[in-house]
């Protein structure tokens, strides 16, 4: 069992990144609950960043500094620009989202023909109205769109959607889960879980937020969803 004094001694080594994994994990856990050690960590961490910056390559060759070749930037930017050009397709892909949404609405409307029970009819009317609302929001020029790699977060008024394309099926026993981060808070709140459609696309309308949201995220979680993310988000979008 490591004493508190030993843990405090290890905080500097932890901030510098020179602890083996087991000791680093112990310090990391301790920092979650110990204000004294956290204050020490916060004090020292910028010094560690400064150590990293001390290695920054000099631009002045006369001072003996070594710089990366300009060809390196050319190589990287060539690849990035090519991918950016390919990935601007989500804007072109919007009709595909709309097509998916429209198909769903059509299925509901078509389904109505076979229904006779009033309660089911009423429920499906609500669903159909929601689909119509969704399509209208998707097409509205005043909708705020925030793209990410595999889709967009779309906001119109209080209504918030996550539209995704080219989604791989999550591993067996896992689902996609949305998260929301309320402004002024540091912990995300769990929202809906969902799966991609057979075409790898999905549109999810999140429940109307009761507070102003700062961000929306998506991660892969066990079936049934989690209370806190258990994996790194595959998307995080500031609103």
Partner 1 sequence: MEDASRLMERVCARDAAAFEVLYDEYHRLVYGLALRVLSDPGAAEDVTQAVFLKIWDSPELFRGGNFGAWIARVARNRAFDVVRSRAVRGEGDVPDSLPVEDALEDTAIANVDAERVRDAIAQLPREQREPIELGFFGGATQQEIARQTGLPLGTVKTRIRMGLRKLRNALEGVVTV
Nearest to 216 by CA among 153, 157, 155, 156: 153
Dist. CA 115–CA 129, nearest whole Å: 17
Q: Could you give the dihedral angle defined by the CA atoms of residues 112, 118, 119 and 121, in that order, rounded to the nearest 10 degrees?
A: 20
- Does position 74 bind partner 1 by CB under 8 A? no
Closest CB to partner 1 among 31 and 101?
A: 31
Q: What end-to-end distance do the CA atoms of the chain give, in Å?
A: 45
Where do the DSSP E strands lie in 69-209?
Answer: 144-148, 151-156, 159-164, 174-182, 189-194, 202-206
Applying CB under 8 A, among 36, 49, 95, 136 the residue interacting with partner 1 is 49
- Does position 33 bind partner 1 by CB under 8 A? no
- Does position 168 bind partner 1 by CB under 8 A? no
Closest CB to partner 1 among 32 and 110?
A: 32
- Does position 107 bind partner 1 by CB under 8 A? no
Q: Contact letters (x/-) for partner 1, 175-214, by CB under 8 A?
A: ----------------------------------------
Alpha-carbon Rg for the chain, nearest whole angstrom, is: 25
Dist. CA 164–CA 228, nearest whole Å: 22
Site for partner 1 in 2-21 (CB under 8 A): 9-21
Positions in the binding site for partner 1 (CB under 8 A): 9-21, 24-25, 27-28, 31, 41-59, 66-69, 72-73, 75-77, 79-81, 83-84, 87-88, 146-149, 232-238
């Amino acid at each position: 069992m490591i004493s508190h004094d030993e843990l405090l001694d290890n905080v500097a080594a932890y901030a510098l990144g020179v602890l083996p994994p087991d000791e680093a994990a112990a310090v990391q856990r301790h920092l979650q609950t110990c204000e004294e050690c956290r204050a020490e960590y916060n004090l020292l961490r910028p010094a560690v960043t400064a150590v990293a910056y001390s290695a920054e390559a000099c631009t002045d060759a006369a001072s003996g500094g070594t710089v990366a070749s300009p060809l390196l930037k050319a190589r990287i930017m060539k690849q990035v620009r090519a991918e950016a050009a390919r990935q601007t397709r989500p804007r072109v892909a919007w009709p595909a989202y709309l097509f998916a949404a429209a198909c769903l609405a059509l299925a509901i409307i078509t389904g109505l023909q076979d229904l006779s029970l009033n309660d089911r009819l009423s429920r499906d009317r609500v669903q159909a109205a929601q689909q119509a609302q969704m399509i209208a929001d998707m097409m509205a020029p005043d909708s705020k769109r925030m793209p990410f790699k595999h889709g967009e977060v779309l906001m119109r008024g209080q209504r918030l959607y996550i539209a995704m394309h080219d989604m791989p099926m999550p591993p067996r026993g896992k689902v996609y889960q949305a998260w929301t981060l309320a402004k002024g808070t540091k912990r995300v709140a769990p929202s809906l879980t969902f799966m991609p459609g057979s075409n790898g696309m999905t549109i999810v309308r999140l429940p109307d937020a009761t507070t102003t949201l700062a961000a929306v995220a998506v991660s892969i979680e066990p079936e049934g969803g989690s209370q806190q993310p258990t994996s790194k988000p595959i998307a995080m979008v500031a609103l």
